[in-house]
Amino acid sequence: MDIKDTARPLDGPGISAFLRSRPARPLLLGLGEARHFVDELGEVRNEVFRHLVEHEGYRSFAVESDCLMGLVVDDYVTTGEGTLDDVMERGFSHRFGTWPANRELVRWMRAYNEDHDAKLRFFGFDGPLEYWAASPRQAITGLYDLLDGPLPCTRETLGTLLGPDDRWSDEATVMDPSRSIGRSADAERLRLITDDLVALLDTQLPRLDAHDRDRATLYGRTATGLLRYHHWMADTSPVRVSRLSALRDAMMAANLRAIAGHGPALVFGHNLHLQRDKSAMSFGDLTLDWWGAGAITATHLGDRYAFLASAFGTLGDDTPPTGTIEGMLSALPWDHSLVDTPHLAELLPETPPRTTDDFAYFPLDPAHLALIDGLVFLKRAVGGRPA
């Protein structure tokens, strides 16, 4: 088998053929990033989503961004609430609102919804966190306000227990667990109250309309996840940061399962979060490993989850060695290719991984090929902005 026999041009018919090749129609199609902020990949992603909407009945898009901030974007694309400039500023975390590809996608989704009755939906699937975490205020109070009494405490009590938001969002807690509020008496009481509120929500779901049910359940799982995350930020064990990585991805996976309930969705996030195999990365002097959101989601959805990783040939000034997978794929005749990775794994059973000085770029790991459903390969990209 020649390496060209494992690939085809990346275009609409190719994406549709990939979907038809799956054992079951995916509810969630993950498209991974080998590096954030690569403009060419963003443009390809937008083309793929447009094809999925226009030819495959997809109606949702999910991105690795704060799930609560994403509500701002969803309101805009579904109802026109707000302005595009404001939405890009307030509706994304991790500076993703500054990325031109995201702006163009939101603009297109809003324009599409103006002309169609079946509305497109936008979701963030990350928690309100990085390796530090935000205050749980928005999630807890949002849930509280959607419930009927009697409630386990007053809103004033919630405000007192939450206190100033900056005591929750101290970035120094990443390396210094002693600065975390997560195991304080206030935080532990909030965990119990949140558990009561989530249990109460289950008893009141029938009285809520679909919009409020979605919001309430999102607030509930986000509040629960954030308080759990803060609790483990105060941990001092050697596995602390790996545990935090796992908890973050578990929150992502819970959001993805909820998104799947709205019908087929394209999910866009880092390869490390969306892959089926165990994830690993260096973090300072630590080596972290954990099961990512894609692995957890695939456990729940089985064949209804599909994953397309991405990889690059020449990225900026960095050209891959010819003996690496990226180097060999660079000989393909197409600028953008869709690669059958299980067949590629059979063809290249022992291939050295590419190395790079770009800490934000994660080259393809040959050991993962058999657990990737397909590969989006860009022969050349200008490069990404600083991560």
In this prediction, residue 283 carries a pLDDT of 85
In this prediction, residue 385 carries a pLDDT of 66
In this prediction, residue 58 carries a pLDDT of 98
Instruction: Tell me how many domains the chain contains.
Output: 2
Tell which of 238, 263, 281 closes a domain.
Answer: 238
Torsion sign, CA atoms 69, 71, 77, 83: negative
88 shares its domain with 184: no
Percent share of the chain, pLDDT over 90: 91
User: What values do phi and psi take at 147, rounded to 5?
Assistant: -105, 155
* Alpha-carbon gap, residue 101 to 84, rounded angstroms: 13
199 shares its domain with 261: no
Q: Could you give the count of Cα atoms lying within 13 Å of 228 in the half-sphere of its Cβ?
A: 18
145 shares its domain with 114: no
197 shares its domain with 268: no
Query: What's the CA dihedral at 73, 218, 266, 378 to 10 degrees?
Result: 80
Q: In this structure, is residue 357 part of a structural domain?
A: no
In this prediction, residue 384 carries a pLDDT of 67
DSSP 349: S
Q: In this structure, is residue 266 part of a structural domain?
A: yes
47 shares its domain with 96: yes
86 shares its domain with 233: no
CB 270 within 8 A of CB 229: no
> Residue 27 sits in which domain range?
3-126+252-340+368-381
DSSP 41: H
pLDDT tens column, 362-387: 999 998 898 999 999 999 998 766 55
Helix pair 100-115, 39-56: axis angle to 10 deg: 20
Q: In this structure, is residue 217 part of a structural domain?
A: yes
70 shares its domain with 183: no
The confidence band for 197, taking pLDDT boundaries of 50, 70 and 90, is very high
Mean pLDDT computed over 352-368: 91
Q: In this structure, is residue 353 part of a structural domain?
A: no
Q: In this structure, is residue 49 part of a structural domain?
A: yes
In this prediction, residue 349 carries a pLDDT of 76
In single-letter form, the type of residue at position 258 comes to A
Q: What is the CATH number of the domain that holds 280?
A: 3.40.50.11550
Degrees, nearest 5: CA angle 45-50-56? 110
Percent share of the chain, pLDDT over 70: 99
227 shares its domain with 263: no
262 shares its domain with 322: yes
Q: In this structure, is residue 54 part of a structural domain?
A: yes
In this prediction, residue 186 carries a pLDDT of 98
192 shares its domain with 105: no
227 shares its domain with 265: no
Mean pLDDT computed over 266-272: 98
Overall residue count recorded for the chain in this entry: 387
Q: In this structure, is residue 244 part of a structural domain?
A: no
Q: In this structure, is residue 352 part of a structural domain?
A: no
